[in-house]
Amino acid sequence: MLRNIRRTPFLRLLFTIAAAVLWCSNGFAADSGATTAPLDNRVQNLKQEVLKLNRDLFILEEDLLFPASTQLAVYVSQDVGLLFALDSVELKINDKTVAQYLYTNREQDALKRGGVQQLFIGNVPTGKLQLVAFFVGKGPHDRNYTRGSTFTIEKGLTPKYVELKISDDAAKQQPEFVIKEW
């Protein structure tokens, strides 16, 4: 986050002002024996303003880094998960790897209980995008299992949300991997 602030001159200026105000207010608070009550109140008010400024700065940074017109968010979910134990996921957009994630036992359990994990959030161009997801884990009969799914989406000027859903296909006794747009 700080790297991105340093790249934007306006944000860097605001961050510098906020840091200087916090530093000065900490210096006044440390010398509380010599300060008076009105000065303490002003310092507290100044700290509150800096906190509000920091919140506004964070919101502004999010808007600048991930504008709604280019935003794509990809989530991973898993239905019951009796036929597949997820070890890792790799996501490619237009043949470029944008996310890889290794799951712990605790994270696997959370997904099986209905949890949803944000795998990727980022900026993408408008138009057609090809998403390819590779799932690695243990399949039926405790065998190593690697499976890929491909999906093409049309990215417009609104944010796009995509779910990579792993579910059990009881009829085939195999896990099923579905990519779904929201």
Q: What is the pLDDT of residue 79?
A: 84
Q: What is the pLDDT of residue 136?
A: 95
Cα–Cα distance for residue pair 22/117, rounded to 1 Å:
35
pLDDT > 90: percent of the chain: 37
Band (6; pLDDT cuts 50, 70, 90): very low
Reference 92, options 59, 57, 122, 53; nearest CA is 122
User: What single DSSP character describes residue 124?
Assistant: -
Cα–Cα distance for residue pair 76/153, rounded to 1 Å:
17
Band (88; pLDDT cuts 50, 70, 90): very high
Q: Amino acid identity of 105?
A: N
Q: What is the pLDDT of residue 14?
A: 59
Cα–Cα distance for residue pair 10/57, rounded to 1 Å:
10
pLDDT digits (tens, 9 = 90+) for 139-153: 888 889 899 999 999
Greater model confidence, 145 or 74: 74
Q: Amino acid identity of 15?
A: F
Average of per-residue pLDDT values in the chain: 82
Choose the most confident range, by mean pLDDT, from 7-21, 37-51, 108-122. 108-122
Greater model confidence, 83 or 18: 83
For strands 71-78 and 160-169, give the pairing. parallel
Residue 172: other Cβ atoms inside 10 A: 10
